[in-house]
Each structure stands twice: as C-alpha cells, then as structure tokens.
Amino acid sequence: MTALSPRRILLTLAGPVLALLVAFVVTSLVLVAVGDPVGDVWSSLLSKPLPRQMVNIVNAASVFYLSAIAVAIGFRMNLFNIGVDGQYRVAVFAAAVFAGQAWLPGILNVIVAILIAILCGGLWAGIAAWLKVKRGVSEVISTIMLNAIATGLVSWLLGKVRDTSGSGSNVTNTKEIPDSSKLEGLALVPGAANKVYTLILLAAVVGFLYWFVLGKTRFGYDLRATGMSETAAVASGVKVPRMVVSAMLLSGGVAGLVGMPLLFGQDFSYGTTFQAGLGFSGIAIALLGRNNPVGIAFAALLWAYLEQQSNGLQIKADVSPELVNIIQGVILFAVVIAYELIRRADIRLEQARVARELAAQRGSAPVEEGAQA
Amino acid sequence: MSAAGLSVGVQTAPAAPPTKRRHLSPGRIALYAAGVVLVISVLRVVTGANDIASSGAIAAAIGLAVPIGLAGLGGLWSERAGVVNIGLEGMMILGTWGAAFCAIEWGAWAGIIGGIIGGVVGGVIHAVATVVFGVDHIVSGVALNIIGAGLAKYLAARFFTGMQGGGPTQSPPLPNLPTVSLPGISDALGELEQKHIFFISDLAGIIRGLVTNVSVLTIIAVLLFVATAWILWRSAFGLRLRSCGESPVAAESLGINVYKYKFLAVLVSGGLAGLGGGFLALVAANVYRDGQTGGRGYIGLAAMIFGNWRPGGLMAGAGLFGYTDAIQLRGGGATVHALLLLLAVLLLAIGIWQIVRNKRMVQGGLAIVTAVLTGIWYAVTETVPSELVGITPYLTTLLVLAFASQRLRMPAADGQVYRKGEGH
C-alpha cells in the first residue's frame, strides 16, 4: 500500500466533495418540493460569516471536535460508542458540581475539575466496557440504555444539588463556578467582540495525542490491529478484552472533556439548558472525517459552520433552521455511501493493477508456468 | 465498523438445541395471568397503593405500550431479516408528522395511512443505504435519526405555522379516531373495582382497563402482532425472511433473493414504526408536537431485545415499559414505591434460588444484597422521584442483558453487511 499515490489522494477527496454536492442537490429538491425559496436559502447559508460568527463557529467546532475524537477512538477498533452523549453529561455535571464548590483557587480548580470529568466519563463508559467483556453485551445497545439512564440520573441529582442561594426556587442549574476559575478566552479573530474558548487548546492537545498514541505507539498499533482483524490480533498476542476496556475508557475519558469548553468558557454552571446531543454530532463528524485527526477538524468546522449559518434562515428566507439537520443527515448518508463505493472501486483498481503487473512479469519471462496451466 | 462489532475473543458455544419446545397452552397462560394478578393484589393490600391495578392505570399503560410495541415490532421485522435498525426513532418521528398532516388534510383514518407512509419513507432510506449500498447498519440508523428529526421539524414549521391552533412546533388538534367499549360490562366492572375486594376487584380493574374506550388503532396494533407472529413463524415467506437474518449465504444458495427480502423487511419495519409514531400523534396526544417520540423508538428496540427477538416476549416487554411509563405519568411515585417491595422480594427469591439450586454464590449473593438494599430503600422512603421512574425501562433492559445475555439469542447474521455472491 503506497501511502500517497495520486489515485489515493483523488479517491480520498472524492468522497466528501461528492457528498456535499449530493447534499446540495437533495436539499434543493426538498425545498422545491415544499415550495420554499431555494435561492434565498443558499445565499443565506453560504454568505460570509461576520467576525463574531466566525468565533462562534470555531467555538462550536472545538466542542464537536472533542466529541468526534471520542467516537473515533472507538471506531478505530471497531467499537461503537454511541454513549458519548451520556458520558459527557455525567462528566460535565460532576465537574460543574465540583468546580462550583470553589474548594481550590483559580486555575487549579479548572484542572482538577477537568480531571474529574475525564474520570467520570471514563467510568460511565466503563460500565459498557465491563458489560461487553464480562457479559457479552453489545456496546451499541448498552450505551443507548446508558444515555437514557444518564439523562434521568443527572436530572434527578440536579434537583438535589441545584443552586438555591440565588433568586427564587425555580433555578435549575448547579452553583456557578467562582470568577477566578472562569476562563476569559482568546482573542484570535480580529474585529470580533467575543472570544474563542481558552479550552480550544484542550481540543488541540487531544487531537495531537490521538494522532500520536494511535499512530505511533505499540498500544495504538494493537488497537488498530484489533479493529482491522480481531483474529490476527489475537494470534499476535493482543489481549482483546483488555484492549476493549482500555479503548472504551479512553473514549469515555475524552467524551468527558466535551462539555469542558462550554462549562468554563460560556455556561459557568450545569443546568437544563446545557447543550445536549453533542454525542450524535460526534458520530457524524468522525465518519465524515474518516477518523483522521485533520479530517475530523475540517468536518467539525463544516458542522459548526452549518449550525451557525442556520440561525439566519428564519429571518432571511423564512425557513425553519431545522433545515440544516436535513443537510447534515444527507451529507452523512452521501459520504458513507461514497466511501463504501470508493472502497470497492479502490479494491477493483488495485486488483486490476496487480493483475496487469503479473501479466507483464509473465510476458517477460514465459517459463514453464504456461505449460502447467 | 461493523454493527456486529468485536466478539472480544469469547467463544460463544452454540446454544444446545432445545430438547422440548415449551408450548404455552391457553390454560397455562390463564394460570400465569391469574398468578400475576394474585401477586399484584397481595402487593396492593400490603402497601395500600390502590392505583397499582386500577382500570385507569391499565388503560394508560396500554396507550403507552402500543407505540413502544409497534416500534419494537418494526425492529423485529428488520432484525429478523438481519438488518439492525436503530433508525426506529427517526422512522417514528416521520410517522408522527405524516399522521398529523394527513389527519388534518383528509381525516383521522387517513392519518393512520399517513403515519405508515412517513415511516416507510424512513424505511426506504435505511434500506437503500444498508441493503443496496452495504453501508454499516448503525451508521445508517444514526444518520436516519438526524434526518428524521430535522425533516419532521422543518415540515412542521412549514405547514403547521399559521393554521388555527397550530404553530411552528405544534399542529392544530387532530380529528379523533373512534374508540370501542364493551357496553354494560364496563360499568359493572367499574362498580366491582370500587369495592377493593381482594383479587376480585383487581381482576375487574384490569379487565375494565382492557375493554373500556379502546382505540381502534390499539386493536389494529394487536392484530398486527398476531399477523407478524403468524407470517414470520408460520409461513414460507416468513421462513425465507428469517433465513436471510440467520444465514444469508445459505438462503442465497437456496435461490432466495436476499436483497428483496431484506429490503421488504426494512420497509415493513418503517411502516410499523411510523404507525407507532402515528399512534402518539393521533391517539395519545391528539396533536403533533416536536420531540413527541421522546426516545420511544429506542425503548421499542429495548423491548424487542428484552423479548429475545420474539413477538410474545416483545409484547411483554412493551407492556412492562408502557406500565412503568403510565405509572410515572399518573404521578405514581407511591405506586412505583410499592413495586420496589415486589422487586426486593423477587430479587431475594432469585438470590436464594441461585445459591441453593445452581450453587452460584457470587450471583446469588449479589442478588440478595441488592434485594436487601431495595428493601431498605422501600422502608426509609415514601415515594420514588419521577426522574428515576423514567429510567426504569432502560435499567431493566440493561439488567436483563447483563444477567441473561447467555439466554438471549439474536438472529445469527444480524447487523452483518451482505453482498450477493461474496459468500465463499
């Protein structure tokens, strides 16, 4: 397998480009069928974002990125962690409760809270890992169940620990973190009043570690080998149950980080309005980015761009912003279908190439082989 | 990324062929049912939670069990043909919108058709992706859930805004479907129920709940259950369909067009899930609302797994989950609290049985410890918080999977991508 032949680069890029085209066509067809203004919708969606909106896009992308990396860790070894949703919910709740107590000063409070989030996300994913290894329960089913259980559990606990010091009894969030622990943000985009989350650095670090650990270490090699061929991995001495547990714990730990940029950069507490459903976006983004740390970054930016630009749809084109979910869904379908078709085409081309080379070899040295046949 | 996932190197021994098929005769079913009623009566008398078997609770439970059951039935069709379907939620959502739209335009009966069509649209997408293009089943399901939710909300905002009583996230009130009651019997049973006589009143309450103001869609759902059981397990068509889920290569070698059967199964699956969504809009709420399904597609999937990929078990699972849902909605923290006692006693019995009969000390001990903890919980509290009641279906499924996964048997080729002519 040559790493970067022109054919491979072309085939790799063909998928996402095709998917975007298909999404454009299908969405336009839906708009026409329903009778909405197609032109207004696209000019609104494709207009250049203002500096303030660019900041929002980068911020949303950093959160999506963490979620997608969490999912991708599982994907690399054939594990389907649908439970990122529940894992980050449990983790951010625990971190918010801890940070709200303000037992530690300033940045130390943030660091310990982040460690707690990693621990809680990992433990919640660990339940699914234990069930899979010890009881043979599919992680797909168990994580779906654990998502729902996390939702119920956290909303019950939130009722117990909600902040009652402030105004009235209808407060539905944890105690706000102290001012010294609020991260102010980075002024990366010129001309924007708002700032990029400081914890975007966390996303960058996680992305680097993902690339390094999975690509450059023995552990990562074993993990990928298990994902590609379990039997081959077992034959080379990999203990698959142990790998399942470590991969799931890692995935859950990263999932625990998903809520951190939001908690320390925007919400400052956990409440009923905390952004939900990030885990499912993560699945889509990981697939779109083909589990590649750079690819996922682009996919996360695309997702964030669409979400941000959808806000203007209602005003500019009188179309529900939910239209963006249709576009995202179609992109996802188109991209996985395109990857599947490309994979098959790739195999066919590879076979043809090998056959050609073999034929050429045979042509140059016509020995007894021909007689045998 | 196959839906079948890793086998974790565990060699699962093929289940021993059942020596004798347990066949439930009508008499035995009646006996079991009487036993359940007896237990419930005892529980009611001991704890004083009168809502536990009231006709109101039973009627509400049925109303909530039907959509879960229909979604699960949809899952059953598709998974029996070997296609994992976690897109049930998306199909249900499309069904809610389809039902509401058609009911407003052409009346309540058209709403039923609309729900089915909405679900079938989702089924077509899932079938094209998984069967025709060989995309991973879970991936397709996740994408379908995203599209389904987006499409329904978008269409709702487009069509229901500006209607009388409607808005961007809600439809106007929908026309009613007729309901059926057994005349005379219903009232007599109601009087009997009010007297709170041991066993008799409980039985009366349950029967009254079953025969009073039953929606026609509930009756249709029950008929669909019977039809599914017959088609899938008693007809040549069903045998072929199930063979595609057990071993598509073997089916192919017998001349079965596997693609056709899988495609059809996923379409039926979508239709049933869509009907489940339609029930929510037409009967349960009488209105379309964004996010109305509330994860019931996933609960349907859970009910199907709980029921071991069989219609009877699925029905029991849907009934159980519907019941817990109903109790929660009726503000029945006290009723669930009563059920805690039952759970504690059951766990105690299981624990003792495991230790005495199976010599499984760890599992038995675990069960007894949990039983004692549950008992303490019962003793020191008055009610169970509604958030925790809401997670009961999921927790039950997780426990069933954890403790009985060796007894569960899903279709052998479930979730595997099949390509024609590639079986070697």
| pLDDT of B225 | 93
Other beta carbons within 10 Å of B171: 25
The DSSP H or E segment spanning B136 is: none
Q: What is the mean pLDDT of residues B301-319?
A: 88
For B275-290, write each residue's pLDDT tens digit: 999 999 998 888 898 8
Lowest mean pLDDT among A114-128, A297-311, A356-370, B283-297: A356-370
* Number of structural domains chain B divides into: 1
CA distance A149 to chain B (A): 5
Q: Is residue B26 part of a domain?
A: no
Residues A284 and A354 in one domain: no
Q: Please indicate whether, in this complex, the C-beta atoms of B2 and A79 are within 8 angstroms of each other.
A: no
Q: Does A329 contact chain B (CB < 8 Å)?
A: yes
Among residues A149, B323, B94, which one has the least CA distance to residue B315? Answer: B323
Q: Please indicate whether, in this complex, the C-beta atoms of A336 and B136 are within 8 angstroms of each other.
A: yes
Q: Please indicate whether, in this complex, the C-beta atoms of A159 and B402 are within 8 angstroms of each other.
A: no
Q: Output the CA angle B224-B63-A277, nearest 5 degrees.
A: 95
Q: Is residue A369 part of a domain?
A: no
Q: To the nearest whole number, what is the mean pLDDT of chain A?
A: 86
Domain containing residue B81: CATH number: 1.10.3470
Contacts of B142 in chain A (CB under 8 A): 82, 280, 283-284, 332
**DSSP tag of B163:** S
Q: Does B176 contact chain A (CB < 8 Å)?
A: no
Q: Is residue B227 part of a domain?
A: yes
CA distance B292 to chain A (A): 16
Residues A273 and A186 in one domain: yes
| pLDDT category of residue A231 using cuts at 50, 70 and 90 | confident
Q: Is residue A354 part of a domain?
A: yes
CA distance B208 to chain A (A): 33
B307 and B316 Cβ atoms separated by less than 8 Å:
yes
Cβ-based neighbours of B283, under 8 Å, separated by 6 or more? B63, B66, B177, B215, B217, B218
- pLDDT of residue A367 exceeding 60, the answer is no
Q: Side-chain half-sphere of A245: how many Cα atoms within 13 Å?
A: 11
- pLDDT of residue B6 exceeding 80, the answer is no
| pLDDT category of residue B57 using cuts at 50, 70 and 90 | confident
Q: Is residue B408 part of a domain?
A: no
- Distance of alpha carbon A334 from alpha carbon A288, whole angstroms: 10
Structural domain boundaries, residue B252: 54-324
CA distance B420 to chain A (A): 14
Residues A154 and A100 in one domain: yes
User: Where does residue A367 fall: left (phi above 0), alpha (psi -120 to 50 degrees), or beta otherwise?
Assistant: beta
For B18-38, write each residue's pLDDT tens digit: 444 455 677 777 888 788 778
For chain A, percent of residues with pLDDT exceeding 90:
32
Residues A246 and A349 in one domain: no
Q: Please tell me the pTM assigned to this model.
A: 0.85
Q: Which of B133, B156, B157 sits opposite A340 (nearest CB)?
A: B133
Contacts of B298 in chain A (CB under 8 A): 144, 148
- Distance of alpha carbon A178 from alpha carbon A210, whole angstroms: 32
Structural domain boundaries, residue A121: 52-163+170-212+242-306
Contacts of B403 in chain A (CB under 8 A): 135
Give A207-211's long-range contacts (Cβ < 8 A, gap of 24+).
A207/A65, A207/A69, A207/A293, A207/A296, A207/A297, A208/A293, A210/A69, A210/A72, A210/A73, A210/A254, A210/A293, A211/A293
SS3 state of residue B179:
strand
SS3 state of residue B180:
strand
For B77-117, write each residue's pLDDT tens digit: 999 999 999 999 999 999 999 999 999 999 889 999 999 99
Q: Does B382 contact chain A (CB < 8 Å)?
A: no
A160 and A153 Cβ atoms separated by less than 8 Å:
no
ipTM: 0.84
Q: Please indicate whether, in this complex, the C-beta atoms of A78 and B134 are within 8 angstroms of each other.
A: no
Q: Is residue B335 part of a domain?
A: no
Q: Is residue B339 part of a domain?
A: no
Q: Is residue A12 part of a domain?
A: yes
CA distance A138 to chain B (A): 8
Q: Please indicate whether, in this complex, the C-beta atoms of B147 and A284 are within 8 angstroms of each other.
A: no
For B185-210, write each residue's pLDDT tens digit: 777 777 777 777 777 777 777 777 77
Q: Is residue B181 part of a domain?
A: yes
- pLDDT of residue A104 exceeding 70, the answer is yes
Residues A293 and A334 in one domain: no
Q: What is the mean pLDDT of residues B396-410?
A: 77
Residues A21 and A116 in one domain: no
Q: Is residue B275 part of a domain?
A: yes
Backbone angles phi, psi at B120, to 5 degrees: -65, -35
Q: What is the mean pLDDT of residues B141-163?
A: 89
The DSSP H or E segment spanning B420 is: none
For B355-394, write each residue's pLDDT tens digit: 887 777 777 788 888 888 888 888 877 777 777 777 877 8
| Token pair belonging to B78 | 């598709």
Q: Find the closest chain B residue to A235 by CA distance.
A: B9
Q: Please indicate whether, in this complex, the C-beta atoms of B394 and A149 are within 8 angstroms of each other.
A: yes
Q: Is residue B63 part of a domain?
A: yes
Q: Which of A140, A148, A329 sits opposite B391 (nearest CB)?
A: A148
* Number of structural domains chain A divides into: 2
Residues A1 and A31 in one domain: yes
- Distance of alpha carbon A236 from alpha carbon A225, whole angstroms: 10
Diameter of chain A by CA atoms? Answer: 94
Q: Please indicate whether, in this complex, the C-beta atoms of B157 and A226 are within 8 angstroms of each other.
A: no
Residues A174 and A271 in one domain: yes
Neighbouring-strand partners of residue A173: A271
Q: Please indicate whether, in this complex, the C-beta atoms of B405 and A136 are within 8 angstroms of each other.
A: yes
Q: Which of A77, A140, A156 sits opposite B3 (nearest CB)?
A: A140
Q: Which of B147, B388, B397 sits opposite A329 (nearest CB)?
A: B147
- Distance of alpha carbon B99 from alpha carbon B292, whole angstroms: 13
Q: Is residue A299 part of a domain?
A: yes
